[in-house]
Each structure stands twice: as structure tokens, then as C-alpha cells.
Amino acid sequence: MSGTKIARKIRNYISELEATKRGKLTLHSSESFQHVLKRGRATVHFDVAFDRQTSRSTSGLIVWNEEGEILASQAVHHSNIEDPFTAKAYAGLQAIKLGISLRINKIEVMGDSKTIIKKCQSSIIDRSVIGAIIRDIQNRKISYQEIEFSFIPKARNIYAHILPREGSPRNGPSRTGEIQAETTRLKK
């Protein structure tokens, strides 16, 4: 990956972090977005940061094309969340919604919660606490020609893991200065 591409990704990440501070959600798309629409295949990684004290969570979503380029990233804040399990279910739902908004035809949704992934794969009606969220996910599957849910270990879900933690309102000031310094260094 060239220094220019890395710098572009870092700039997108910085603006995403700044937008989460303002409470405004943004979506960054790369020039290869039209290419994905033609081929129609993308992967969405999701993860979540959960704050039990405030009952809030932040979902982090990263969309990749088949070549491994980041097409879009998004951080979504949720309130009145009971537990981390519910937060993960909402993150999965946000991944599905993001794919629909990007008009992706074929999608692989990857997360590090085996339980959520299994429930999304199943066609059986879920009667658990998160049943309504899972039903919403299952109802939105028809928006895709192909949809696959896959487990990814947390160690390999690093980008989606970092985004909600850095963008969490409770986290306070982000490391924007450090990231900007790295962007400047890469440009040279």
C-alpha cells in the first residue's frame, strides 16, 4: 500500500473521529466505490464499545472491497443499551443498514461475537432479549442478492475494534494530533 493511500485512509479516519465528537455521522467513500457497485461484493466488519455506567455504545463499521481497500467507515452512537450483547446485535444491524445504503448487492458481514453471527445466520425465530434486533436483521437480508455472516477473531478485527473506542463520546479527546503527525510523516 502506498504512502498516499495510507495518508488518505488516516485523513478519513481523523474526520470520522472529529464527526463523532460533534455527534454527526459521516460516511467516507473511496474512488473504488463505483467499482464495487459494478461487481457488487463487499465485506463489512463491525465491533462495538460499550459503557455500562451510561448505558451507551458506539458501533464501528468498516467496509472493504475485494482488493482490501476501505470503501467506507462509520461510527454510530446508541443510548439505553442494556448490555454488551445487545450492543453487538445493534452493531450487526448497523452493518446491514450501511450495506443497504451503499447499494451493495453481495455482502459478507463479519463480527467477533459468535453468538450474534450464529443468530444472524439462522432462519429460526429468536425469542431472546435481542430477538427483535435479530428479526430486523433477518428481514433486511432480502435487500441483498447474497449475504453471509462470518465470525472473525477480535485480533483480526483490529480496524473495526479501534473505531468505536476512539470515537466513543466517553473516551474524551482523541489522538487526532498523533494521527495527523503520522499522516504528515507518510506524505514526505
Domain ranges of the chain: 3-187
pLDDT tens for each residue of 27-36: 444 444 444 4
Q: What is the pTM of this model?
A: 0.69
Query: Of 19-23, 34-38, 89-93, 100-104, where does the model show the most confidence?
Result: 89-93
- CA 160 vs. chain centroid, Å, equals 6
Say yes or no to pLDDT of 86 above 90: yes
Q: What is the mean pLDDT of residues 112-128?
A: 91
**Rounded CA separation 35/141 (Å):** 22
**Rounded CA separation 51/16 (Å):** 20
Banded model confidence at residue 138, pLDDT cuts 50, 70, 90: very high
What average pLDDT does the chain have?
78
Residue 38: CB atoms within 10 A of its CB come to 7
Residue type, 43: T
For 3-187, which CATH superfamily applies?
Ribonuclease H-like superfamily/Ribonuclease H (3.30.420.10)
What is the model's pLDDT at position 67? 83
